[in-house]
Amino acid sequence: MNPTPGGIKDKAFSAVRWTTIGMAAGVIMKLLQVVILTRILTPADYGVMAIVAAVLTFPWVINDTGMNSAYIHRRNVSDSERSSLFWGNAIFAVLLGGVVLALAPFIAWIYGDPRLFPLLALSSATFLVVGLGSQFRLTAEKNLRFRPMAIIEIIAAISGTAAAVLSALAGAGPYTLVWASLGRSVVNTTLCWLYLSGGWKPGWHLSWRELRPYLRFGAAAVSSAVIDNINRSLDVVVLGKFVPAVSLGLYSVPRNFVEVLQSLVHNIVSRVGFPLISSVQHDRLKVQKIIFTALNMVGALNAPLYVGVALFSKPLVRVLFGAEWHGTGHLLAILAIVGYIRSMLGPTRGLLLGLGLARVELWWSLGILAITLPAIVLGAMHGVVWLAISLAGASLLLLLPTWYGVYRPLAGIGLVQYAVLILRPVALSVLSMLPGLFLVRELTQPIMQLTVAALTAAPLYLLLNFLANRLFVDSLLHLLLVRRAPGGARP
């Protein structure tokens, strides 16, 4: 169950490389889906789907964490324990689906929208489908085998997007994303059984005694994940009580776009960082080097995305979302600030869980909730713009405690280093985009504005990083230049 032989650095870069490919393909499919669906579905449809998605994130987090985190953290797992984990996950997935099904009428009553009941009921079937393939995905992730996982995720993402577009064209309305999720999950689980099993199949064996140590670790991990998910989803849940579905839809589309961008780098860091840190958890110097490199990469990769979204929000909305969404550019710009700050907080989870500090991670998530909850409630009471501003303010307040409580003691990062890791990529991004801001003033077509801005900013940003952040450039080259292992083995 240990990662394949070879240097930890090469394994890490190979894992990041293939995870990046898979995540990038998934993000492209999601963006393509947004571009198409916002021209077919109405803001009211998106408002209903936003509530469904926000409600479902909580059981999804429970399903994805729990025993799964403990399985990745533990170095030696027997075949009988794997079988117990497989059936334990399957039973747990059925129970979660049953809970969603049972609560669906109550949730529909709370929001006063009967459409929520059948949407949530249909979505509950997805839990079992995903649960039947989770063991194979986790084993590949545990061993840093991200290449086959990336290929499977690309195929599943294409399938999900195709299902979404076909459903929307058929008039499915708010059911569109449910069918997309089901289609993507069925394809993913089927391919995991075929290509990630390595010949292993679960035996007819289930021992609660074997599951007990996984449940102890998983209880803290899943609790912190639920709290973290509340922090990320509470804005939609609360806002839905104060504004109509149309306004919620107008808020949720730019918000979801920012989350798609955030998921690209965040998911790479969390999926690779957790098992990677777990594999070297007793070598604190290696842990510190991994976190410092991760923060540097996260900032350097995310800053140009979010700065670009903030500076060019209006043409971006016109290109991606269509005529009904033209007034949401200011929301997108404010939410881009939230997205960047959250991306810099992202590596904390992988660091704490990788070191086995699940309880610390739980208390940390509760502290974030204590700051985020009042900001969301106060902002939502005054409308979507004030909600976005409140989220940005709450996110800024979290930066210093995160350094003091996590990055400083566990990764040995000083305050000046931390400030540089956050602010340097933002400054370089702004400098690289200044020429584009002046050039696009003479253009009227939004596609041309975005194209000119990207073509001028990208090479200038790389040049500035070459001068001011060589670690990022070297790491980027290492990722892009695929090296074959000795003896011609594949990475």
Please compute the mean of the pLDDT values over residues 200-229 and round it to a whole number: 72
Q: Which residues contact 212 (CB under 8 A, 6 or more apart)?
A: none
> Does residue 20 carry a pLDDT above 90?
no
User: Coil, strand, or helix at residue 201?
Assistant: coil
User: Which amino acid, residue 55?
Assistant: V
| Domain span including residue 98 | 8-484
> Does residue 416 carry a pLDDT above 90?
yes
User: Residue 11's pLDDT band (boundaries 50, 70, 90)?
Assistant: low
Please compute the mean of the pLDDT values over residues 381-403 and round it to a whole number: 90
- Which pLDDT value is given to residue 268? 64
| Alpha carbons 53 and 56: distance in angstroms, whole number | 5
Number of folded domains in the chain? 1
Please compute the mean of the pLDDT values over residues 163-175 and round it to a whole number: 87
| Alpha carbons 425 and 44: distance in angstroms, whole number | 37
| Alpha carbons 399 and 408: distance in angstroms, whole number | 12
CA–CA–CA angle 127, 129, 132 (5° rounding): 105
The mean-pLDDT minimum among 183-192, 214-223, 369-378 falls in: 214-223
Q: Report residue 126 CA to chain centroid gap.
A: 19
User: Residue 219's pLDDT band (boundaries 50, 70, 90)?
Assistant: low
Please compute the mean of the pLDDT values over residues 451-475 and round it to a whole number: 90
User: Residue 275's pLDDT band (boundaries 50, 70, 90)?
Assistant: low
Output 231-234 pairs: Cβ under 8 A, ≥24 positions apart: 231/365, 231/368, 231/369, 231/372, 232/57, 232/259, 232/342, 233/54, 233/57, 233/58, 234/372, 234/373, 234/376
Q: Residue 61 falls within a domain, yes or no? A: yes
| Alpha carbons 177 and 33: distance in angstroms, whole number | 10
- Which pLDDT value is given to residue 206? 80
Nearest to 56 by CA among 154, 159, 157, 125: 125
Q: What does the pLDDT look like over 345-362, one tens digit per residue? A: 877 777 776 677 767 777
Q: Residue 475 falls within a domain, yes or no? A: yes
- Which pLDDT value is given to residue 421? 93
Six-digit token pair at 148? 């086959």
Please compute the mean of the pLDDT values over residues 300-323 and round it to a whole number: 87
> Does residue 418 carry a pLDDT above 90?
yes
User: Residue 467's pLDDT band (boundaries 50, 70, 90)?
Assistant: very high
Q: What does the pLDDT look like over 246-255, one tens digit per residue? A: 777 778 888 8
Q: Which residue has the higher pLDDT, 24 or 195?
A: 195
Q: Residue 465 falls within a domain, yes or no? A: yes
Q: Residue 489 falls within a domain, yes or no? A: no
Q: Residue 404 falls within a domain, yes or no? A: yes
DSSP secondary structure code for residue 156 in this structure: H
CA-based max dimension of the chain: 70
Nearest to 270 by CA among 289, 296, 298, 292: 298
- Which pLDDT value is given to residue 489? 38
**Positive or negative torsion for Cα 69, 70, 71, 72:** positive
- Which pLDDT value is given to residue 426? 95
| Alpha carbons 42 and 250: distance in angstroms, whole number | 10
User: Which amino acid, residue 356?
Assistant: G
| Alpha carbons 122 and 183: distance in angstroms, whole number | 12
Please compute the mean of the pLDDT values over residues 21-46 and round it to a whole number: 79
| Alpha carbons 287 and 280: distance in angstroms, whole number | 7
Backbone phi and psi for residue 75, each to the nearest 5 degrees, phi listed first: -80, -35
> Does residue 42 carry a pLDDT above 90?
no
Six-digit token pair at 76? 């030696």
The mean-pLDDT minimum among 96-105, 197-206, 223-232 falls in: 223-232
- Which pLDDT value is given to residue 58? 59
Q: What does the pLDDT look like over 229-246, one tens digit per residue? A: 777 777 887 887 787 777
Nearest to 336 by CA among 378, 296, 368, 305: 305
- Which pLDDT value is given to residue 95? 82
Q: Residue 101 falls within a domain, yes or no? A: yes
> Does residue 158 carry a pLDDT above 60?
yes
Q: Which residue has the higher pLDDT, 429 or 45?
A: 429
- Which pLDDT value is given to residue 273? 57
User: Residue 1's pLDDT band (boundaries 50, 70, 90)?
Assistant: very low
If phi > 0 it is left, if psi is from -120 to 50 it is alpha, else beta; for residue 144 that is: left
| Alpha carbons 431 and 415: distance in angstroms, whole number | 24
Please compute the mean of the pLDDT values over residues 369-379 and round it to a whole number: 88
User: Residue 303's pLDDT band (boundaries 50, 70, 90)?
Assistant: very high
Most confident of 75-84, 193-202, 335-344: 335-344
DSSP secondary structure code for residue 72 in this structure: H
The mean-pLDDT minimum among 37-41, 149-153, 231-235 falls in: 231-235
Q: What does the pLDDT look like over 24-35, one tens digit per residue? A: 787 788 778 877
- Which pLDDT value is given to residue 433? 93
| Alpha carbons 74 and 245: distance in angstroms, whole number | 45
- Which pLDDT value is given to residue 318? 84
User: Coil, strand, or helix at residue 445?
Assistant: coil
| Alpha carbons 293 and 314: distance in angstroms, whole number | 33
Determine what percent of the chain is predicted with pLDDT higher than 90. Answer: 14
Q: Residue 22 falls within a domain, yes or no? A: yes
Q: Which residue has the higher pLDDT, 344 or 51?
A: 344
Q: What does the pLDDT look like over 421-447, one tens digit per residue? A: 999 999 999 999 999 888 888 788 888
User: Which amino acid, residue 10?
Assistant: D
Per the confidence metrics, is the pTM higher than 0.85?
no
User: Residue 6's pLDDT band (boundaries 50, 70, 90)?
Assistant: very low
Q: Residue 490 falls within a domain, yes or no? A: no
Q: If you average pLDDT over every residue of the chain, what do you get? A: 79
- Which pLDDT value is given to residue 3? 42
- Which pLDDT value is given to residue 360? 79
Q: What does the pLDDT look like over 284-295, one tens digit per residue? A: 787 788 788 888
Q: Which residue has the higher pLDDT, 429 or 65?
A: 429
If phi > 0 it is left, if psi is from -120 to 50 it is alpha, else beta; for residue 383 that is: left
Alpha helices in 196-244 (DSSP H): 208-239
Most confident of 186-200, 381-395, 413-427: 413-427
